[in-house]
A and B are shown apart, each in its own frame.
Chain A
């Protein structure tokens, strides 16, 4: 039994402005929407067509959040008209004060946590690089964010004494991935079949595609060379305090 970790990736193509990144070229969940039930069709179509306006964050905060979110879930490989709206989804959740059902006793309420987190990130940028976060190079932005991801804020900031950095990171990153992977364009990217009622699935075994799905077409691609967020070759989780997540279970 070979206990190898994340497969080594040979040098491949550069990231480009793709209408659809991922290995399922030609697959579109939205093309199937006539087969979905009415309510699902409405909810998913609206997510694509009606991007919620910014109502919670100030324009300055929104600009900063956008810069952060673009590193937590980068989309530089996507064509401009195929970018998935992430920060508007976060703004909408906070504007409506939609809770996830709980708060850690050592955390402030979500709204306050975001305001504090944004402030800390911007002041860390100022202190370390003497520029606001939004003006930093991508690499420097990643340096700051990686220090939060690793649970070792560099430079230290007093806000992280009040608010546990790993909890803030989880809050932020979970909101980002929820927005991104709830979008049908992301489903196309990863080859997820999407809504399937009332039709259902027929081919359950052996990873076979349904007649309307497509087979995987793998290719090699590289993240920007200086990126800090690529998984290392061993695929070992970077040293960090692993918080407990929420989501589905059985």
Chain B
């Protein structure tokens, strides 16, 4: 074991990377090899390391030094995204890239807007209640203690009273309102809709340990140099390293290796110089995002698993979901200056649940969005068909516009999927092909949602309202379920087919509600970690599948994070 020194490597404006970081030699066998140090992977590594397991997390992207690598600049932030080739198709092809997932330690939590609402209890019972989609193998109440825990750990700022779903409050106070949030709140109030302002967002409204509070500069999606916005890079990875985990950056997992005994024994990966290595592990957890996770499992096909690892059900890659993310833009006489304050800062969930009077199941949320100039120009191109002089003119008016988004639930459909394309990437690995089609329920929901949000915009006093169709937040594609014939993993993320192979990230979600998925993904990761810790060595030697709840551990949080309260109805 050698030691790596990271002196002066900054994580936000006050924190530095703990040094030294443990480094495992190539031939050492670790307990868990985690693929992807993103939203889920970061939390898992931290929990498992604290419990004493030997952990290596392979991360395809770099280990960000926030001061040297990140900028307060849209174009200069291109490298935060997964820019490698993916093919997109279907009747309603999804734009991927910057609209999609991250690459580098922290994964998508580096560029997320940090909206952190919980799912509603109904989200876990969509099939039972609406005869569409699927039920989860767990209920909201199984996840609730983990929501509360993560809301303290990352932590979440928001109103004292969040009235929807299972009503609750937030440990940190709400943020002051920017111009766009003001428009949302005004418009909703005019229409008699409830809204909340200043959260819930995983952005600090007061300093916390070695992280300062938000300075309202609006560059959240470009990575928060301040360290006010939560990313696992600054919330969980430092504690993971303190407890002996190795986060091995610039290491692209190429395939998971299956031993003759039907158990996985390690991960083949490619380093920054193109050299192949093999990391031996007693168990493997894939946390690579809803596209790269199924891609890796498909690319790991071998004899006995011709159609990909853990794919005996044939559902690996299927039931991929995106949320409808239509952006409604309104022009106001007065100045708004939409670039100030975090893009995520006010929302309404009045239309979240199924309403039998409508002709579709499930619903949508209404949320602020805050595009910076290049993103806003693209939105105006799409929403107004602006180009040339027209585009120059409308852009000169940027400070008069406010943007509010629909966040609509799209149901899981078999034909929305991730497969392998013929093309290969720079590592010689077949790239993912994503197919996406809207179905009848989705189209009706989007039409309805779009109209409601446009009404909010008019009600707020806009003199012109336009909208652009887009999608956000991919999840699904390796869903959890109790039936091995129709799902890939069980309720703890363990693949039905291979006892020491797990999936833990957004890909295990059976449905997605109309809440942003990040908090739920991290809460699920903490729950899976509790299960693995409770199981102990049994995971490494036994094929027995224990389905008992592990019980939540309150002693595994990063330092200074578990002394705030979670307001709730007793």
Nearest Cβ in chain A — how far from B468, in angstroms?
A: 6
Nearest Cβ in chain A — how far from B309, in angstroms?
A: 25
Distance, CA A243 to CA B484, complexed state (A): 38
Contact at B73–A250, with CB atoms within 8 Å?
no
Q: Given A105-B93, A204-B341, A250-B367, A21 and B396 touching (CB < 8 A)?
A: yes
- B13, B92, B396: the one contacting A22 at CB < 8 Å is B396
Q: Is A81 an interface residue (CB 8 A)?
A: no
Nearest Cβ in chain B — how far from A155, in angstroms?
A: 20
Contact at B84–A245, with CB atoms within 8 Å?
no
Q: Is B390 an interface residue (CB 8 A)?
A: yes
The chain B residue with its CB closest to the CB of A222 is B389
Distance, CA A244 to CA B339, complexed state (A): 23
Q: Within 8 Å CB of A104, what residues of B?
A: 87-89, 93
Nearest Cβ in chain B — how far from A137, in angstroms?
A: 15
Q: Within 8 Å CB of A244, what residues of B?
A: 92-95, 382, 469-471
Q: Within 8 Å CB of A186, what residues of B?
A: 373, 395
CB interface residues, A 50-73, toward B, < 8 Å: 71-73
Distance, CA A7 to CA B377, complexed state (A): 19
Contact at B336–A177, with CB atoms within 8 Å?
no
Q: Within 8 Å CB of B32, what residues of A?
A: none
Q: Within 8 Å CB of B497, what residues of A?
A: none
The proximity string for A residues 1-16 relative to B, scoring 1 for CB distances below 8 Å and 0 otherwise, is 1111111000000000
CB interface residues, A 147-175, toward B, < 8 Å: 149, 170, 173-174
Q: Within 8 Å CB of B434, what residues of A?
A: 102
Q: Given A105-B87, A246-B98, A248-B343, A177 and B93 touching (CB < 8 A)?
A: no
How many chain A residues have a CB neighbour from B under 8 Å? Answer: 86
Contact at A36–B373, with CB atoms within 8 Å?
no
Q: Is B268 an interface residue (CB 8 A)?
A: no
CB interface residues, B 470-498, toward A, < 8 Å: 470-473
The chain B residue with its CB closest to the CB of A3 is B458
Contact at B393–A223, with CB atoms within 8 Å?
yes
- A6, A193, A248: the one contacting B340 at CB < 8 Å is A193
- Count contacts between A and B, CB distance < 8 Å: 297
Distance, CA A180 to CA B374, complexed state (A): 8
Nearest Cβ in chain A — how far from B167, in angstroms?
A: 23
Contact at B73–A235, with CB atoms within 8 Å?
no
Contact at A235–B384, with CB atoms within 8 Å?
yes
Nearest Cβ in chain A — how far from B423, in angstroms?
A: 9
Q: Is the interface of B mostly helix, strand, loop or mixed?
A: mixed
CB interface residues, B 342-397, toward A, < 8 Å: 343-344, 367-369, 371-379, 381-396
Q: Given A39-B70, A192-B372, A204-B179, A245 and B468 touching (CB < 8 A)?
A: yes
Nearest Cβ in chain B — how far from A36, in angstroms?
A: 7
Nearest Cβ in chain A — how far from B351, in angstroms?
A: 17
- A142, A205, A240: the one contacting B388 at CB < 8 Å is A142
Distance, CA A145 to CA B388, complexed state (A): 10
Q: Within 8 Å CB of B458, what residues of A?
A: 1, 3
Q: Given A182-B374, A231-B386, A231-B390, A205 and B182 touching (CB < 8 A)?
A: yes
Distance, CA A100 to CA B343, complexed state (A): 22
Query: Chain B interface: which size bin?
Result: 35 or more
Distance, CA A42 to CA B477, complexed state (A): 41
Contact at A105–B433, with CB atoms within 8 Å?
yes
Give the contact stretch, choosing among B49-57, B75-83, B147-155: B75-83
Contact at A98–B367, with CB atoms within 8 Å?
no
Q: Given A23-B396, A246-B98, A250-B115, A201 and B340 touching (CB < 8 A)?
A: yes
- A7, A40, A101: the one contacting B72 at CB < 8 Å is A40
CB interface residues, B 145-182, toward A, < 8 Å: 176-179, 182
The chain B residue with its CB closest to the CB of A109 is B85
The chain A residue with its CB closest to the CB of B215 is A200
CB interface residues, A 194-212, toward B, < 8 Å: 194-209
Distance, CA A191 to CA B73, complexed state (A): 15
Contact at B372–A248, with CB atoms within 8 Å?
yes
The chain B residue with its CB closest to the CB of A47 is B75
Q: Which of A38, A242, A246 has the most CB of B within 10 A?
A: A246
Distance, CA A16 to CA B468, complexed state (A): 33
Contact at B72–A250, with CB atoms within 8 Å?
no
Contact at A249–B325, with CB atoms within 8 Å?
yes
Q: Is B217 an interface residue (CB 8 A)?
A: yes
- B83, B373, B381, B385: the one contacting A99 at CB < 8 Å is B83
Q: Is B121 an interface residue (CB 8 A)?
A: no
Nearest Cβ in chain B — how far from A4, in angstroms?
A: 6
Q: Is B63 an interface residue (CB 8 A)?
A: no
Distance, CA A25 to CA B14, complexed state (A): 37
Q: Within 8 Å CB of A31, what residues of B?
A: none
The chain B residue with its CB closest to the CB of A189 is B396
Q: Given A99-B85, A204-B178, A246 and B95 touching (CB < 8 A)?
A: yes
Distance, CA A199 to CA B217, complexed state (A): 8
The proximity string for B residues 81-107 relative to A, scoring 1 for CB distances below 8 Å and 0 otherwise, is 111111111001111111110000000
Q: Is B276 an interface residue (CB 8 A)?
A: no
Q: Given A40-B73, A104-B93, A105-B433, A247 and B391 touching (CB < 8 A)?
A: no
Q: Within 8 Å CB of A83, what residues of B?
A: none
Give the A-binding residues of B (Cβ under 8 A).
Answer: 13, 67-76, 78, 81-89, 92-100, 112-113, 115, 176-179, 182, 215-219, 221, 225-226, 325, 327, 331, 334-337, 339-341, 343-344, 367-369, 371-379, 381-396, 398-399, 405, 407, 433-434, 458-459, 463-466, 468-473, 516
Q: What would 20 more interface pairs be, CB under 8 Å, given A4-B463, A190-B398, A205-B182?
A: A22-B396, A37-B72, A44-B71, A102-B95, A177-B378, A181-B376, A181-B395, A182-B373, A186-B373, A190-B395, A190-B396, A195-B71, A198-B225, A201-B341, A204-B216, A229-B389, A244-B93, A246-B99, A250-B367, A250-B516
Q: Mind listing 7 A-B residue pairs with CB under 8 Å?
A: A2-B463, A44-B73, A102-B96, A103-B86, A170-B381, A177-B391, A192-B399
